[in-house]
């Protein structure tokens, strides 16, 4: 049971079974995927090369240690580059783009509603902790019950480790948790960990295969957390055998 200022206790409906709501970060809370890609694509262009957007879309959700753009660029050029200077310049540009981004529709409402219904809040991200927590606090939403990032697990998404770590931290069973993801790899991670998963494609993941997701929304503003939790509960309840004549 949770309370909200001026309203007293707020109880979840009996059929809202979700005790935890776990968000991905990149592309889900803010749409960072475009700026991350564009800042690297600009580095490639300045060196006469092209970073394929179609390829980039396939690695979204896998984590920052899966593909090293600078190492790839050096391999293509056949020579070493001033890596430290390039990374610093590129990061400045990326931060400029990301800090102009708004929180995506429905995120704040889902957070508030989940809290009011007594659910615990988590973040499971394949990005580095400094990146994730820095932006969350900058956006004024640093108050999560648990945050687990790349440094906290051996295997990032699509392995289930991040979600398992968050659930262990929250003390909630996977059968009582909802994940929200924007990529195929994120959905695979959530499902492998046993969570009910809502997919919300980002600007770069609209073509991903979300068949493993339990529900696909164009935006979190399309539905409320309670509505999705009730739907998830009904889908997870064992079906009664049909009455025999």
Instruction: Just list the catalytic residues.
Output: 24, 26
Specify which residues 81 forms β-bridges with. none
User: What's the CA gap between 87 and 64, in Å, rounded?
Assistant: 13
Question: What DSSP string describes 97-158?
Answer: HHTTPPPPTTHHHHHHHHHHTT-EEEEE-SS-HHHHHHHHHHTT----SEEE-GGG-SS-TT
For residue 194, give the nearest of 235, 224, 163, 171 by alpha carbon: 163
| Phi and psi torsions of 158, nearest 5° | -85, 5
* SS3 category, 3: strand
């Amino acid at each position: 049971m949770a309370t909200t200022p001026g309203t007293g206790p707020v109880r979840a409906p009996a059929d809202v079974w979700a005790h935890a709501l776990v968000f991905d970060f990149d592309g889900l809370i803010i749409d960072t995927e475009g700026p991350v890609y564009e800042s690297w694509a600009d580095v490639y262009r300045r060196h006469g090369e092209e970073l394929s957007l179609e390829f980039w879309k396939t690695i979204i959700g896998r984590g920052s240690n899966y593909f090293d753009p600078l190492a790839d660029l050096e391999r293509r050029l056949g020579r070493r580059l001033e890596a430290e200077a390039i990374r610093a310049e590129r990061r400045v540009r990326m931060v400029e783009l990301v800090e102009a981004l708004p929180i995506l529709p429905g995120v704040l409402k889902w957070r508030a509603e989940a809290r009011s219904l007594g659910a615990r809040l988590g973040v499971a991200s394949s990005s580095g902790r400094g990146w994730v927590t820095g932006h969350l606090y900058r956006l004024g939403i640093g108050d999560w019950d648990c945050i687990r990032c790349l440094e906290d697990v051996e295997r990032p998404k699509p392995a289930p480790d991040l979600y398992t770590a968050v659930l262990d931290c929250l003390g909630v069973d996977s059968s009582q948790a909802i994940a929200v993801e924007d990529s195929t790899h994120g959905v695979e991670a959530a499902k492998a960990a046993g969570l009910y998963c809502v997919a919300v494609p980002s600007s770069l993941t609209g073509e991903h295969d979300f068949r493993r997701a339990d529900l696909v929304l164009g935006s979190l503003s399309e539905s409320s957390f309670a509505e999705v939790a009730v739907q998830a509960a009904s889908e997870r309840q064992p079906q009664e055998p049909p009455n025999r004549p």
